[in-house]
Structure 1
Amino acid sequence: MAQDIPNPASKTEDKYAWVYLINLVFYFIPYFIIDMPLWQILLSLAALIPFVYCYYWAYRSTSSQAHLPILAIITIAIAVTPINTGSLSLFTFAGFFIGFFYPLRKAVLCIAALIATLFLLNMSLNFDHYYWAIYGAALLAGVSLFGVVERNRIENKCKQQKSQDEIHQLATMLERERIARDLHDIMGHSLSSISLKAELAEKLLAKDDIEQAKLQLAELNSIARDSLSQIRQTVSGYKHKGLVASVTGLCQTLRDKGLSVTLEGEIPSLSPELETHLILSLTELCNNIIRHSQAQECSLRFSQNKQQTIIQITDNGQPDSVNQGNGLNGIRERLQQFQGTLTWDLSQQCQFTITLPQQG
């Protein structure tokens, strides 16, 4: 694959991973058409336990890790074949993951090797005909194509999401420019007038022209009040953009400093108070990366489960230790208000992890 896609489905689809296991119905067909001894049935059923584990392992792997669970699935299928020819069903799961995780050329070679394995099994087990291997080869070819189609769907989805993120970033930049322009238009003339009035009042006082100086100071006070009112009206028009816009802004700030930034996962919806503290915490961590890490790459990853929301900021800087100054202590104090924690790991890359309990 062109990208290291986390799994064959998005996070929202992950909970439906068990649905594909329905294909195991073919695994049980030999039970009804062949008179199998009880020990054989129990042993083949027991093999499903490690298979299901390997299935979820592959389902949640990245392309660089997928070879391990795929090989495990193939090993289980080969081991089961002598006692249950329904093992073809297990081979098809391996075929799907091969089609999904690997580029077409590599996938074709792997599927060809897997089909050759079926024929070798057919020969070594002295099956009467090659129907089992031929049928299995057709299944592998077909299911692996489904894997390729699913990979293309995920890649297109990732590209669309990236385009949407870029559009959102562009909109944020335009909004910043608008705010800067509005403040310049409001304050530019007002500050110039305030400066001139103050300078004129100073000269009038120097000449003991008290009345004219009072008049200039009164006008200066009026200009200042009008400017303050205009600023309040302008700021009140800028609604709180929330965590999504803040995270996007932090990513852009890191990019502006020359870092390659990756944003992963779905940004959660939190209470306004928690969002504010989380934004401040993330801002502090990103500023630390800019000031201290000397990194070239950085990633922000959001993930959730039933109990926790987890935010990980990882960069490829290599600090020997972390100085727990006011910044990190401040983050911990903010998070403690919400039973959250801040941890870090320097074993491979520099990774900070914010963990928050799910809000009720």
Structure 2
Amino acid sequence: MLELEKRLSWVYLVNLVFYIAPFFYINYNLIQYFWMTLALAAFIGCYYWIGRSHTTEMLLPIVLMALIASAITPLNYGSISMFAYVSFFIGFAYSFRQFLAGVVVLLAVLALLDHLFVKGTPYFLLYGSALVCAIGVLGVLDRIRRLTMLKEQRSAEEIKQLATMVERERIARDLHDIMGHSLSGIVLKADLADKLVQQQQYQAASQQLQELAFIARESLSQVRQTVSGYKHKGLAGEVQSLSSKLREAGFAVEVQGEVPVLSAREETAVVLILTELVTNVLKHSNGDEVQIRFSETEHGNQLMVSDNGKVSELDQGNGLAGIQERLAALNSTLEWQLSPSSFSFTLPKES
């Protein structure tokens, strides 16, 4: 849902029609057209900048949007539509109290611009103030809606993880019961057959071996039935499991970013690589803090495992050769640094 909204973000730019309309009914000179077009391009750039930013990183582009709108107002009073975008993003990115403070500042800016430049045009301040307040409230509501969606998504993921853990426990119990009984029978038949062979009772020994083979086949069938339908818990589940192991070993663990959605082939490789990296931390790190970070770059999905341990040299025998081979199959390479140690790789985007 959120990805769809990002792809359709350009639709919301239609509200800039109030800014573009004066281009066609007011006689500007070429220099004025140039500055207004430049301001529009810079504003749209900030708009998409915000679209790619986390809420904690939106302050700078929001301020730049407000400055662009203020600077172009003396030429184009349609800049009130730009202030509406600024109000929306303030409501979306910040708490309600901060939103109210931001709206007060915007209204003060509108009043100042109206007093200095927009003389004889009463609709600018009145209409602009109403637009800023109304669109800002929409931003607040959108923020609440998205927070609710994320909370529901987390709840669904937690339920899914819990169901997976319950299923794994069921399989473990079933395997224990099945294999405990079957292996006891296999050991008994094997010992009996050995004694019969020693006593040269080959026909009886052959009978015992046939029964042993039957028990083994039945056990294999029961094991297959037990694990049928079992699904791998996936990268998110592995991250949770490995984080628990690290914490049990005394490490403070921080997981940053969203776990990416990968193909089955990539996910299997990443699970194995991540397991190996965490195993190396457990075996060799002298630190006490570990960070697992997922991020999306222009080149692809990046994963980094770092800790605050200090290492003077790197032993290539610590499973790194296997990691490099798996990454080579995915057109990627492992990068690392020492003291503090960190290992990272990027899975390239599909062309």
* TM-score (structure 2 length as normaliser): 0.83
- Return closer, same or farther for 1:325/1:235 CA change in 2, 3 Å cut-off: farther
Distance in 2 (alpha carbons) for counterparts of 1:88 and 1:346: 52
* Residue 166 (structure 1) shift: 0.7
Partner of 2:231: 241
Over 3 Å counting, the alpha-carbon distance change for 1:344 and 1:46 in structure 2 is same
Compared CA separation, residues 166 and 84, structure 1 to 2 (3 A): same
What is the 5 A alignment of 1:1-360? Answer: 10-125=2-117, 127-128=119-120, 130-197=122-189, 209-211=199-201, 215=204, 219=208, 222-223=211-212, 225-232=214-221, 234-235=223-224, 237-239=227-229, 241=231, 245-257=233-245, 258=247, 259-261=253-255, 264-270=258-264, 272=265, 274-292=266-284, 294=287, 296=289, 298-299=291-292, 301=294, 303=296, 309-315=300-306, 317=308, 319=310, 323=314, 325-326=316-317, 327-344=319-336, 350=342, 352-358=344-350
Measured after TM superposition, the shift of residue 86 of structure 1 is 1.2
Describe the shift of the 1:256–1:57 C-alpha distance in structure 2 as closer, same or farther (beyond 3 A): same
The unaligned stretches of length 5 or more in structure 1 are: 1-8
The corresponding residue for 2:250 is none
Q: Residues 304 and 220 from structure 1, CA distance in 2 versus in 1: closer, same or farther, beyond 3 angstroms?
A: farther
CA contact (8 A) 1:119 1:130 kept: no
CA distance in 2, matches of 1:28, 1:315: 49
SS at match of 2:301: strand
Counterpart AA for 2:244: D
Task: Give the Cα–Cα distance (whole angstroms) in 2 for the partners of residues 351 and 173 of structure 1.
Answer: 29
Shift of 1:234: 2.4
**Code of the aligned partner of 1:331:** I
In structure 2, what is the Cα distance between the partners aligned to 1:102 and 1:322?
45
Separation in structure 2 between the aligned mates of residue 295 and residue 93 of structure 1, nearest angstrom:
45
Calculate percent identity across the aligned residue pairs: 37
- What displacement does 1:44 show? 0.7
C-alpha distance in structure 2 between counterparts of 1:302 and 1:67, whole Å = 21
Q: Structure 2 vs 1, CA of residues 86 and 289 (structure 1 numbering), >3 Å: closer, same or farther?
A: farther
Cα distance in 1 for partners of 2:235, 2:259 equals: 12
CA contact (8 A) 2:256 2:292 kept: yes
Amino acid at match of 2:231: K
The separation in 2 between residues aligned to 1:148 and 1:46, in whole angstroms, is 30
> What per-residue deviation string (whole Å, max 9, x for no partner) do you get for residues 108-144 of structure 1?
1011111111111111226225431221111111111
Q: In structure 1, what is the Cα distance between the partners aligned to 2:139 and 2:159?
A: 30
Distance 1:290 1:175, change over 3 A: farther
RMSD of aligned alpha carbons: 3.3
Q: Deviations over 1:217-248 (max 9, x none)?
A: 85366335523542355237535735xx2313
The C-alpha deviation readout for 1:35-84, integer Å capped at 9, x for no partner, is 43332122111211221211111121112211111111111111111111
What number of residue pairs does the alignment pair up?
A: 342
TM-score (norm. length: structure 1): 0.81
Query: Could you give the per-residue CA deviations for residues 169-224 of structure 1, whole angstroms, max 9, x where no partner exists?
Result: 1121112112212211221012223344555667778xx7443x984685366335
Distance 1:112 1:312, change over 3 A: same
Matches of 2:217 and 2:64 in 1, distance apart?
A: 69
Q: Secondary structure at the match of 1:312?
A: strand
Give 1:134's aligned amino acid.
L
Closer, same or farther: CA 346–325 of 1 in aligned 2, 3 Å = closer
Deviations 1:278-304 (A, max 9, x none): 432233234334445555564453658
Contact 1:187–1:227 (Cα < 8 Å) also in 2: no
SS at structure 2 position matched to 1:133: helix
Verify the 8 A CA contact 2:335 2:345 in the aligned structure 1. yes
Unaligned runs of 5+ in 2: 248-252
For residues 78-116 of structure 1, give each alpha carbon's deviation from its aligned partner in whole angstroms, at most 9, with x where no partner exists.
111111111112111111110100011111101111111
